[in-house]
A and B are shown apart, each in its own frame.
Chain A
């Protein structure tokens, strides 16, 4: 399908129309900071940096109620909320790639229904990244700054608005149904798009020129784990903010009626790998940090055929210690 052009004004009209039937999630400003939240007509923050809260949380929230259990006359009944119909606008290529990885992990049998149901009822409108940040290395991870697959619609910002491409029948449907808002993209629009994306890719590669999956894996073996152990402040932020990290714990809260809760967990925490008897295969912080690298660059690729890191740089941004994993890796690469 040929690409279309959508003006900034028509984007707002499109969202207004879409939000009649769907919950539209988009980057908006909250206290001056871009965040993913429900769009209620407020100004969009598509031109700002990628929000710190990754859109993966709409499929795997930090805390979600899987179901409620209610006891009545000695029998339990279970109640679940149906998934919401959503459209997420402005998901960056790195996050789109992360969702592809999660789809593999949660979708392959036995499927994780709470995830899959949310995923199925969500339309992804991706936004190619034309303004990468210094912390970004999506290109090196093969995850950006241009999305190749995984979206329903794909936007790229140009001077006149957005070049819009569709990736699935759902995307095509939106283009057709709201065709009055779109016009055909002209060759110069596409040219501008290509230039912008090329520049973005060059900028991202320039940040960390030598980085690749292979070089990371090699360097991971040489990371100074003692330093990692000494300096990590155990906040768990790196895994809580990562769009691919997906480990969780479940618990039942409430007796006799209550909820089964699932909450995001972190392998940085000792309790995550500690066994009931007290033994812990990853007892030291250093070992847990090493596990993080191995999971992202060995285990997840083995499982999904894709890297477990998309180079979004969020873990570096939230790192509370001086231990930031990518700095450690780069040091190891230099050794």
Chain B
């Protein structure tokens, strides 16, 4: 038996684990004790990280659609056809009729090559990925305030915090290993404040739990900041030396008096004063947040409000402080870093900036498009309208993960040509003209970048099933057919190129990564990596306060409930992997709609009964779970289940600053299924 050290494939924690490999099969997993995040521990998904690798459903041969049916095809033919069709459509409709959706499950190297293929091969900046649906507001918001959308500190920094404020994060279920670090800090004396309308396990474990009305984040954050300013708990030196725009902010938050906040968010004056005191008086405080903050039509404002809070209290740039957006996928940070975004190349070098563009043109030996491309949800809209005609989707399942499933279906069906590369058949591969079977994380080398900016090695433990190939090889083959240089012989060589063209990854090389990895920015080969950002200065010089205002929620009489969507502990994202893991699927074999006992009683619903959840456009049937952990008026549903796809009910209502769809506040009505 061999023990292969690698990086977990699920959430942004990026835990280190060992695969136990025997005779070419993975027979077990154990946590890595030396890995700084996992420290000899894993969550339930991590312990079962091997369990899908040898599943018989794995895609093993390329498929091509003929006469409405997908049938076997040789790799060469499939690749030739893809190159030919993309060329044809490009010639007829222009390069911006093509789009690429990369995968946050793929490696950095694959994301880099895919964005290179889109830009250098297809000639379009229409490249995006699932970050658009999770942390686009962080990239936008933190980018505006701090100059970088990434987590400011390494997770271990939380151990030094006196106060940790967690908001919009069901941490014990979605980032269990980070929750373990936070809870350990709490055991050592840190005060844990959780702000969440739902009474999550994290909320139950908190020293203080605030349950504001859903969607009132700006109001309570501004209110807290207003009290902190009033009580003189701000860090004046920090504000003076390292920030701009405080006076405007001060004025803007001054109207968020405790009374106003109570009116808007339902948080009492006493509660708000308590958290303001606990947060404001801490010498080191930090804020941890996730999708409960970002997936709103004012997601960027929510992030800006939190950034204002850490900046005004001087909680940036030191150990024990910072702002921690928890990334959902294990490599969504990396996919962003690699420039799988419509407006930037790797390392967030802007495509609209002539200098950056010239640099990449020189490096890649081609002319590159100037205008930023479309974002993920916009790509779907463009497809629906016929502006996008061909799409390459790598390991994403928009049919389940994107808002408004019916629209996504229509969009994908209206494409002239759709290529989907994945490890399992999904609701999206079913619509593809060509399906490419690719290697899972256990079957390829590469790197993932975790939520704490830690670039880590992924190692090949076993061979891919059947004819499946690593996607970096697939993309190289396609690039060669598009007459680009793509003679990479290994992901290591791709990383060498990434390091050459990406200043923040300049010092990253496979030799240096080992078990511990390296935190970017790591500009050169002798640089130790950066655990704490913004210590001396911000990338934009001084940090900037951006005053934000509460957005009044329109209540819809006809659709009185607010549906908020998310995930549960046992499944991941669209369930493509976890629903094939017997132990995990056994834990939560079906979608359950969480509803408060009062609402259930009013509607005459009892435990185990089914309801119809109905949005203005669609409806679905789902069993209820009656729980006091969710407040009246709100219902929660995970989006893992194709039998009851929550995204059937969601809509394309976007945050205008980051283009993230609002997946947390969907007006619905609920009625009992009769009979």
Contact = CB atoms under 8 A, between A and B. Distances in A.
A124 to B, nearest CB: 16
Contact of A320 (B3, B50, B177): B177
Interface stretch (B23-31, B394-402, B498-506, B531-539): B23-31
B560 interface: no
Closest 9 CB pairs of A and B: A62-B28, A271-B586, A254-B56, A30-B3, A61-B27, A53-B30, A31-B5, A35-B3, A271-B587
A236 interface: yes
Given A57-B28, A318-B41, A321-B183, A233 B582 contact: no
Given A233-B43, A269-B587, A241 B30 contact: yes
A278 B608 contact: yes
A249 B582 contact: yes
B47 A236 contact: yes
Interface string B179-208: 110011001000000000000010011000
Given A263-B582, A320-B41, 15 more contacts: A25-B1, A31-B34, A37-B3, A53-B3, A53-B18, A57-B28, A61-B22, A62-B20, A62-B28, A63-B50, A230-B205, A233-B179, A237-B42, A317-B41, A321-B180
A263 B44 contact: no
B255 to A, nearest CB: 39
B32 interface: yes
A248 to B, nearest CB: 10
Given A30-B3, A37-B1, A270-B587, A253 B55 contact: yes
Contacts of B20: 53, 57, 61-62
Contact of A52 (B26, B30, B172, B201): B30
A254 B56 CA distance: 6
A53 B42 contact: no
A271 B27 contact: no
A contact patch SS: mixed
26 contacts: A30-B18, A32-B34, A33-B32, A53-B28, A57-B28, A62-B50, A63-B27, A63-B28, A63-B51, A65-B25, A231-B183, A233-B43, A233-B176, A233-B201, A235-B43, A235-B46, A236-B47, A237-B31, A253-B55, A254-B56, A271-B586, A278-B608, A318-B40, A320-B43, A320-B176, A322-B184
A85 interface: no
A37 B461 CA distance: 14
Contacts of B30: 35, 52-53, 241
B211 interface: no
A320 B31 CA distance: 11
Identify the interface centre among B47, B177, B201: most chain A CB within 10 Å of its CB: B47
A35 B41 CA distance: 15
A317 B177 CA distance: 14
A266 B33 CA distance: 21
Contact of A253 (B56, B179, B583): B56
A259 B27 CA distance: 14
B31 to A, nearest CB: 7
Nearest to A231: B205
A98 to B, nearest CB: 16
A64 interface: yes
Contacts of A7: none
A322 B51 contact: no
Contact of B34 (A33, A36, A53, A271): A33
